[in-house]
Structure 1
């Protein structure tokens, strides 16, 4: 008989070891941990303990991620609260950048808004939004995360030479085809914003920022 046939037989005859209890007690295996021989029951107990340890490790990871997500959600709510409490619309763009930097420990943050009311056309957060940057933002329907390969928008940062990895968040109103602005998050850490990271949280930031900036149009 092949091993597959033996396994298939034992699975199809669960009462086999009830009828052959002595054989079950006589089977010994080599433990991979101590290299000593152990009974089949002991080996099964070892396997169960290993599975339990793996489940415990996974559970701790889930609990840690849950705690981290709770902290991020709390920071996002505080950030949104501060934006809504700001009555001077002209202060909102800089408040967004400053509070993102503080609340989420981002080394560098910059943003630009365009297509604003004429009264805001000379504001510093309007300058530097070239046509190429606008077209790039229009083409983004979710945040870009990755290594800085010379993006033009990094010129908005205080220290663009230190921007190794970036997150570029397009700002737009719901169902709008064109973007109304762009947020740049930059870090000297190449792994801070990687192409494999999830962007759900960054999308929420962009949505809240877009809603707060709509007062400038």
Structure 2
């Protein structure tokens, strides 16, 4: 008498139980080497290989993935450390700035260099004037952003690039936009790059947030003046 063939669900459940048992008893094939002669071990390469060799190759691939992940984390940590050093250096320089021209030159030179960027823009508005400029393209484009506390990084549309950076915006494809809040004024600091991947939404913004806080505090004593233009 023939035994009924198990259904697909039953077969799947049996395979799962076998897999769970083998995982729970990794020495099973050592204790039952005869099983190796009756099973197929996929290896995706031409020629026969032993199970041990196959496992070694799997482990090597997993190790390569982990090494790449670790290298990425180390590179990110070094980059963050370098940014902290730059922020500290800029803070020390800002402490002794006491006039608008010096402040503008320092920020423009430092930020373009440190961020390897091509364009920089400061756009500040007196709080009282914002309601009187309902048709200003810049206010319309960034009104919601001016009330943010955190910086924003990512690709920049051609329209917003031109609004921010003027004629130079034609070659700008990504930007970091930092909110600036000071006494009686709200606005943004924008750092633009021709590289569309230079500033991405996945970037951390802690450094940029601290930068915005430091600049906002400095603007309480020294105005940017003509530096607001690109």
* Paired residues, number: 200
Contact 1:83 1:212 (C-alpha < 8 Å) held by counterparts: yes
- Look up the match of 2:227: none
- Look up the match of 2:29: 17
TM-score, normalised to structure 2, is 0.68
- Look up the match of 2:172: 163
Alignment equivalent of 2:20, drawn from 3, 8, 17: 8
Deviations 1:25-74 (A, max 9, x none): 77663532x42212222222221122122212222222222222222222
Q: Secondary structure at the match of 2:121?
A: strand
- Look up the match of 1:50: 61
- Look up the match of 1:190: 196
Deviations 1:98-138 (A, max 9, x none): 3212332221112144449xxxxxxxxxxxxx664457153
Q: Secondary structure at the match of 2:221?
A: helix
Counterparts in 2 of 1:210 and 1:58: CA distance versus 1, 3 Å = same
Contact 1:169 1:203 (C-alpha < 8 Å) held by counterparts: yes
TM-score, normalised to structure 1, is 0.72
Counterpart CA distance in 2 for 1:50 and 1:155 is 46
Query: Which segments of 5 or more consecutive residues in structure 1 lack a partner in the other structure?
Result: 117-129
Counterpart CA distance in 1 for 2:107 and 2:193 is 17
Does residue 97 in structure 1 map to residue 108 in structure 2? yes
Could you list the runs of 4 or more consecutive aligned residues of structure 1 that deviate by over 6 angstroms after TM superposition? none
Does residue 140 in structure 1 map to residue 151 in structure 2? no
- Look up the match of 2:208: 202
Counterpart CA distance in 2 for 1:158 and 1:81 is 33
Counterpart CA distance in 2 for 1:189 and 1:29 is 47
Counterparts in 2 of 1:80 and 1:153: CA distance versus 1, 3 Å = farther
1:49-88 alignment to 2 at 5 Å? 49-88=60-99
Counterpart CA distance in 1 for 2:92 and 2:117 is 19
